């Protein structure tokens, strides 16, 4: 197939820097109309690494208008699924080609170790690759009608313009997981990244431009004041769907705001993942799983394990091995090669963890290691911590820590631990280690979460549906379910057919 001229990507070997400080609306690189900017800082040392436009609802409206125009433009609406797929492949190729620079940007603005940023580039771009493939298989159906002279045709239509709001902990992967599915479905996008990490999204926008994705199809606006923009996304009849990842509180707020227009809303919110180690578990493996599940991005991920339950008969061995590994973690700025634990994202996050720990201390919690800020490393570092004997009313036990703190508890029976694990309003991820096949099925079925990791501490991948139940959200991202959030089922009844 010949790719139409306007779809060819501009140049696969652009040499421009991806450190950009203007927003991207309708294929143009823009400042805020009033000239306002806000600073982006490296959380490892709080140095300013860039200033980006502090846009208002006026620019958000402009981006929505551009996305609406682009949605109906023949260059987007009438291209084939194969051409859409090709554009996403172009984008994927460019992201891979510029992976090292993208990883530097992620580490600079989000603080995670460079090795994790590289993993995020691979993980994030895998959604673009996956949805480039899925774009060609968003199929309809023909259903047998009960009427002799009719056919029932089912089409999958794109929902239209989608507003994306994303957090700072995966500045690349969360934008791409949403945007790639939306574009594969034929939607157009206005993305509003976190005020802490806007630079990665701007770099992705530049690569989308080079990839040949038409003007207005993928827009990125930057702003230091999210609420009015969120309100506009929810109240504008031109925005057909909202896809949000972030706190449960803001997710609920957006859901309420979208009720007026019965808007499509998909929400990936906070978790409170249990991590259970049964008596048959391979202890070394479970410690390895605990480390990766807890300490990735300094514990600042929504699928991080939050409540650790270890069977009493292996508890001491597990704790001894875990403590040795936690104490060996290398802490420092993400740019340093050996570093495994970077800073927290901002002062609010540090304050939150300190207040959790203060509350825990007042309830006679035992601190096995850590439990303090590491001011000598930088303003936002917190020591990897293990605490035990935690009162079940402690905030750190009930709420998502979102930091490098392991909360350990003993249990005696399977029934007891499943009840304790499910005793949460959240239901995103859950993990357990067991070599007992019967128990594996029993417990996996009983855990009230959207995703279960069995003998594994890290399970996210493009092929699998990511999402939660209860207050952890609505909808699924990635996998072939991912396009459901961005498509409508349309029924066409074809009548008057003469078959005899």
Residues that bind ligand ADP (CB under 6 A): 165-168, 192, 194-195, 226-227, 230, 246-247, 250, 253-254
Shortest Cβ 105–ligand ADP spacing (Å): 17
Nearest in space to 340 (alpha carbons), one of 46, 117, 171, 98 = 117
Residues 6+ apart with CB under 8 A from 272: 306, 307, 398, 399, 400, 424, 425, 426, 428
Task: Select which of 268, 471, 477, 485 is catalytic.
Answer: 268
Could you give the residue ranges of the DSSP H alpha helices within 337-479? 347-362, 395-398, 414-422, 437-446
Query: Least distance in Å: CB of 299 to ligand ADP?
Result: 13
Q: How far apart are CA 95 and CA 175, in angstroms?
A: 13
Assess whether 493 carries a catalytic annotation: no
Residue 440 CB contacts under 8 Å (≥ 6 apart), including other chains: 434, 454
* Nearest approach, Cβ of residue 395 and ligand ADP (Å): 16
Catalytic position from the list 187, 195, 302, 485? 302
Residue among 212 and 230 whose Cβ is closer to ligand ADP: 230
Ramachandran assignment for 332, one of left (phi > 0), alpha (psi -120 to 50 degrees), beta (any other): left
Least gap, CB of 250 to ligand ADP (angstroms): 3
Contact indicator for 188, 216 with CB cutoff of 8 Å: yes
Cβ nearer to ligand ADP, comparing 207 with 345: 345
The answer to whether 102 and 200 have CB atoms below 8 angstroms apart is: yes
C-alpha distances in Å from residue 322, one per residue of 283, 284, 477: 10, 9, 32
Nearer to ligand ADP among residue 94 and residue 242 (C-beta):
242
Beta bridge partners of 78: none
CB of 429 to ligand ADP, least distance (A): 16
Closest residue by beta carbon to ligand ADP: 230
CB of 195 to ligand ADP, least distance (A): 5
DSSP 276-334: EE-TTS-HHHHHHHHHHHHHGGGG-STTSEEEEEEETTTHHHHHHHHHHHHHT--BS-T
For ligand ADP, the closer of residues 122 and 226 by Cβ is 226
CB distance 342 to 382 below 8 Å:
no
Query: Which is nearer to ligand ADP, 235 or 413 (by Cβ)?
Result: 235
Q: Which is nearer to ligand ADP, 254 or 409 (CB)?
A: 254
How far is the CA of 121 from the CAs of 96, 292, 431, in angstroms?
8, 18, 25
Residue 471 annotated among the catalytic residues of the structure: no
Please name which of 357, 379, 383 lies closest in space to residue 299, comparing C-alpha atoms.
383
Which are the catalytic amino acids? 268, 302
């Amino acid at each position: 197939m010949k790719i139409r001229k306007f779809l060819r990507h501009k140049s696969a070997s652009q040499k421009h820097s991806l450190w950009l400080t203007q927003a991207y609306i309708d294929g143009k690189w823009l400042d805020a109309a009033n000239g306002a900017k806000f600073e982006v800082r490296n959380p490892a040392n709080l140095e300013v690494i860039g200033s980006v436009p502090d846009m208002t609802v006026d620019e958000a409206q402009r981006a929505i208008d551009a996305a609406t125009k682009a949605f109906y433009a023949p260059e987007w609406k009438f291209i084939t699924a194969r051409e859409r797929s090709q554009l996403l492949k172009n984008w994927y190729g460019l992201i891979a080609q510029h992976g090292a620079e993208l990883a530097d940007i992620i580490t600079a603005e989000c603080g995670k170790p460079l090795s994790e940023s590289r993993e995020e580039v691979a993980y994030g771009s895998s959604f673009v690759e996956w949805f480039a493939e899925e774009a060609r298989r968003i199929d309809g159906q023909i259903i047998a009608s009960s009427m002799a002279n009719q056919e029932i045709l089912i089409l999958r239509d794109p929902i239209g313009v989608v507003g994306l709001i994303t957090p700072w902990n995966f500045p690349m992967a969360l934008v791409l997981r949403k945007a790639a599915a939306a574009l594969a479905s034929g939607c157009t996008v206005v993305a509003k990244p976190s005020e802490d990490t806007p630079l990665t999204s701007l770099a992705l926008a530049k690569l989308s431009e080079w990839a040949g994705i038409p003007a207005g199809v993928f827009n990125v606006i930057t702003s230091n004041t999210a609420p009015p923009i969120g309100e506009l996304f929810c109240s504008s009849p031109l925005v057909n769907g909202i896809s949000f990842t972030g706190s449960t509180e803001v997710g609920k707020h957006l859901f309420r705001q979208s009720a007026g227009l019965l808007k499509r809303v998909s929400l990936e919110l906070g978790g409170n993942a249990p991590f259970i180690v049964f008596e048959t578990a391979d202890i070394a493996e479970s410690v390895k799983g605990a480390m990766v599940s807890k300490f990735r991005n300094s514990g600042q991920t929504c699928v991080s394990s939050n409540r650790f339950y270890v069977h009493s008969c292996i508890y001491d061995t597990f704790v001894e091995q875990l403590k040795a590994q936690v104490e060996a973690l290398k802490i420092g700025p993400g740019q340093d090669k050996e570093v495994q634990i970077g800073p927290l994202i901002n002062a609010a996050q540090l304050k939150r963890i300190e207040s959790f720990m203060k509350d825990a201390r007042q309830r006679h919690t035992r601190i096995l290691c850590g439990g303090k800020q590491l001011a000598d490393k930088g303003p936002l570092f917190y020591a990897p911590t293990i605490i035990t004997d935690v009162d079940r009313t402690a905030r750190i036990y009930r709420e998502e820590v979102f930091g490098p703190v392991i909360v350990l508890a003993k249990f005696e029976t399977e029934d007891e631990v499943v009840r304790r694990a499910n005793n949460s309003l959240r239901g995103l991820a859950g993990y357990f280690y067991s070599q007992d096949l019967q128990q594996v099925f029993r417990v996996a079925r009983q855990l009230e979460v959207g995703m279960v990791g069995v003998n594994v501490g890290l399970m996210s991948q493009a092929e699998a549906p990511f999402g939660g139940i209860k207050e952890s959200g609505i909808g699924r991202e990635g996998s072939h379910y991912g396009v459901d959030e961005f498509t409508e089922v349309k029924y066409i009844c074809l009548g008057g057919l003469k078959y005899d």
